Amino acid sequence: MAEHAVGLVPGAEPAAVRVDRTEDDVAVAVRVALGWPAPVREAAAEVRRSVVDEVERITGYRVRSVAVTVAELRTAPRTRVG
């Protein structure tokens, strides 16, 4: 679910996800790749919001934290002219 939530953010791709669950809440850590150029701080905040919203909506667990690590910035492939 957390991986799916990352994929809902335009330009973000999940690289790794870790979830630690207690009885009634979860902590999530995600590593993501972002398209470049991207406003990294804003994209990380959007990933965080998406993960919280989707995990809480689907599971009913409260998300106590989401740690987002930008592991890679990817440029769009260049097209050859000519």
Q: Residue 78 — φ and ψ, nearest 5°? A: -80, 140
Helix-strand-coil split of the chain, %, nearest 5: 30, 45, 25
Q: Per-residue pLDDT for 80 more than 70?
A: no
Q: What is the band of 78 on the pLDDT scale with cuts at 50, 70, 90? A: low
The CATH class of 2-75 is alpha beta
Domain boundaries, the chain: 2-75
The pLDDT value given to residue 38: 83
Token pair 């993960």 is found at 51
Q: How far is CA 67 from CA 27, 62, 80, in A?
A: 8, 15, 38
Q: What is the pLDDT of residues 14-69, one digit of tens each?
A: 999 999 999 889 999 999 999 988 899 999 999 999 999 999 999 999 999 999 99
